[in-house]
Structure formats: C-alpha cells, structure tokens
Amino acid sequence: MLSCPYSTGPSSRGPLSTNCISGSASFIWLTSDNMHHQWLLLAACFWVIFMFMVASKFITLTFKDPDGYGAKQEPLILTAVTKVEEVHVPEEKHWPEEFQPTGKAFSGNLIHQPLVHMERLELLRNVCKDTALRDLSHTAVSKFVLDRIFVCDKHKILFCQTPKVGNTQWKKVLIVLNGAFSSIEEIPENIVHDHEKNGLPRLSSFSDSEIKKRLNLYFKFFIVRDPFERLISAFKDKFVHNPRFEPWYRHEIAPGIIRKYRKNRTETKGLQFEDFVRYLGDPNHRWLDVQFGDHIIHWVTYVELCAPCEITYSVIGHHETLEDDAPYILKAAGIDHLVSYPTIPPGITVYNRTKVERYFSGISKRDIRRLYARFEGDFKLFGYREPDFLLN
C-alpha cells in the first residue's frame, strides 16, 4: 500500500506532494489493469468449461451402442471404439443388460447368442417344412413325448429330456427351482432320476387343457448334440461302463440285440457297437423297441423324444456350445439370478471327431448309411453335417 505524509494548506504543496500524487495514480491504474486481466481470465475459464459441457453432451447423444435393442443406452468411450476396430470381441465390453448372462460359464462369445439361437430356430422351421423329410422330422405329441417333458410351474418352464447331452445337470437346475432342494450341491445323485422323489412333474401328468396351456405359455427348451456321438455315449454308458448299475441293459436288452443282429453267432462277447448300429439302423427296429420300453430314450431320435416340429420351443441348446448356451438359457428363462448351471469340466462338450471315426471304422458302409437314414432328420433339423466317413 502506497502512503504519503499527511499535510494541509498551500504550503504543503511541493515536490514530495506532487510525487506522492503521481505514485498514487500509477498504483490505482496498475491495480485496475490487474483486475481487468483477472476478469478476462475468469471469463475465459467459464467459456472453456461451457464448451467442454456442450462437446460432452454432443458425444453422449451421438455415440450410442447400436446394439441396444431398446435397452438403456450408455455413451461409448472413444478409446473403446478404437479397440472394437482392432479386436473382434473385446474382453471388456458393456453390452445391453438383456444380453448379459450371469452364469459361471460366461464368455465373450455370448453376445452373439441371440443371433445364433434365432438362426437355429429358423433352420428348424425350414426343415420342418421340407416335405421330403417329413417322415423323419414329424411325430405325434404322444404320451411318450409328454413323459419326456418336465415342468417347473413356479417359473413357467418346460424342459424336454434328451439323454446323453448333460440332462442330469438340467434336472438338478429344475429340482432347485421347484423348491425340493435349496442348492444343486445338496441334491443326492440317486434322487435326480427318481421321479417319485425329485419333485419334477412330467407334462403327461396334467389334463389335456392344462397341457395345452403350458405348451402355449411356458418357456420351452431342450439340448442336442451330434447324433452319432450321442449314440456312442449311450452305448458306452449303458452297455460298457454302466455306472448307475442298471443290469437290465446288459442282461435283457443286450442279449435281445445280439440274438437279432450279430452276424457271427459263435462269438460270446457282450454287445458290440457294430451290433448296436445294426439294431438302430434296421427299418424294423420298432418291434424290439416295444420290448425294451422306455429304456430306448437313450438312443431314439430327438424328433421322437421332443417333437420339435409340433412343439414351438423357445431355445434349442447345443452340447458342443454348452458353455455359452447354458447361461444364455438361464437368462432367457429369467432364472439366472436364482440358479447357475453346474461347472462344466474343460473339454467335455467338444465334439470328438477322432472318437467317432474310431467307433465307426469297423462298421460297414451299408450299416452306417442305414443308421444315417434313420437319424437324418436330427442331422438336418439341428444343423449337424453328414459325417465325412459317409462321403468317402
């Protein structure tokens, strides 16, 4: 602060007084000039902030996820856009909520699931319309079919059982949803397939009107796998390892097949895969099927089990892509927050071409073609290619 000596009267006006007045004027001018610069700087800051807000709003309104399908949109970060161009499926991607399953088997490929399942259902509809395959793709919705469909009324779900494609695990999921057990880990293995104790009603147990209502309104799904690999799995499970100790397969069903289809009657070995293939490929196999009863569910066609051309299913999962399909099905059914599909051991669902070719290597082309002729509907309906060893 500039100060001058206090003076009054005319005698006080001299050089000191004049200099003091001049210095005061300079100080006032400098102070005013500094304040002017400060106001300009402050105004510039406000202008920058204002322009930044406008620019941010413009980016928010412009760069929105095009795959939102009506879900709440979030602005995309510009660096993330660059990453999408460089990588086909980014590891960290914020997808619309309805396509974000919560199962343990979640993978980046899951974002493509809606399109995959739409294509599967479209293929199914087209093959169902193919009159040349009508006998292989259509069946009556009989009691045999209704017996295969398990009901969860609490969550409006129907599950069609197709053995040898991981059905035991799906039964556990439904048992928990129906309230018989609080978690999958608590379910004893011997209870899962005991339909008097597992709390899973079959669709056949309802009246005709109740069946029709559930078929029209409920979420419906089933699982498929390569038809020939499924037959190998059924053969190994029932006639080779038989882990559940079901003696009737070896002691009743196997001898019936051997008597009818073994070429060399002097052989005393148990049922061979070649015998099994001849039985399944025989156009007159049904008379043995009747004798075997419901045990045939492990090797009859998906068409015979679930009537996919007569019943409009919501989702058809594939065993080969179960790591993605299982959490997608839970999400689509609206139950992913209630239960998770059990952990899938690595590699267990992968199609094993070498194993299939090894099992069929000793089978005659005639018998393989007859087998394929019976299961052609399953191959075509669900997009499985004809085996290479049939084309050679």
Write out pLDDT tens, residues 168-211. Answer: 999 999 999 999 888 999 999 889 988 888 889 999 999 999 99
Q: Is the distance from CB of 30 to CB of 22 less than 8 angstroms?
A: no
pLDDT tens for 293-339 read: 999 999 999 999 999 999 999 999 999 999 999 999 999 999 999 99
Q: Is residue 249 part of a domain?
A: yes
- Classify 224 as helix, strand or coil: strand
The pLDDT of residue 111 is above 60: no
The percent of residues above 90 in pLDDT, for the chain, comes to 61
Q: Is residue 95 part of a domain?
A: no
What is the chain's alpha carbon radius of gyration, rounded to the nearest angstrom?
Answer: 37
- Classify 54 as helix, strand or coil: helix
Q: Is residue 22 part of a domain?
A: no
Identify the pLDDT of residue 52: 53
Nearest to 310 by CA among 233, 212, 177, 392: 212
Nearest to 383 by CA among 308, 273, 292: 308
Q: Is residue 3 part of a domain?
A: no
Distance between CA atoms of 112 and 110, rounded to whole angstroms?
Answer: 5
- Containing domain of residue 373, as a range? 110-390
pLDDT confidence bin for 103, thresholds 50/70/90: very low
Contacts of 338 (CB under 8 A, 6+ apart): 155, 176, 177
The pLDDT of residue 54 is above 70: no
Q: Is residue 64 part of a domain?
A: no
Please list the alpha-helical segments (H only) found in the chain: 15-62, 78-86, 113-128, 134-137, 143-148, 167-177, 189-192, 208-217, 227-235, 248, 254-261, 273-281, 286-292, 302-306, 322-332, 353-360, 365-381, 388-391
Phi and psi at 84, nearest 5°, equal -60, -35
Distance between CA atoms of 262 and 310, rounded to whole angstroms?
Answer: 37
Q: Is residue 242 part of a domain?
A: yes
Give the count of domains, the chain: 1
- What average pLDDT does the structure give for the chain? 80
Phi and psi at 282, nearest 5°, equal -75, 125
The pair of structure tokens assigned to 37 is 């610069």
Label residues 212-251 b or e (16+ Cβ within 10 Å = b). eebbeebbbbbbbbbbbbbbbbbbbbbbeeeeeeeeebee
Q: Is residue 294 part of a domain?
A: yes
Q: Is residue 9 part of a domain?
A: no
pLDDT confidence bin for 60, thresholds 50/70/90: very low
User: What string of DSSP letters covers 165-211?
Assistant: SSHHHHHHHHHHHTTS-SSGGGS-HHHHT-TTTS---BGGGS-HHHH
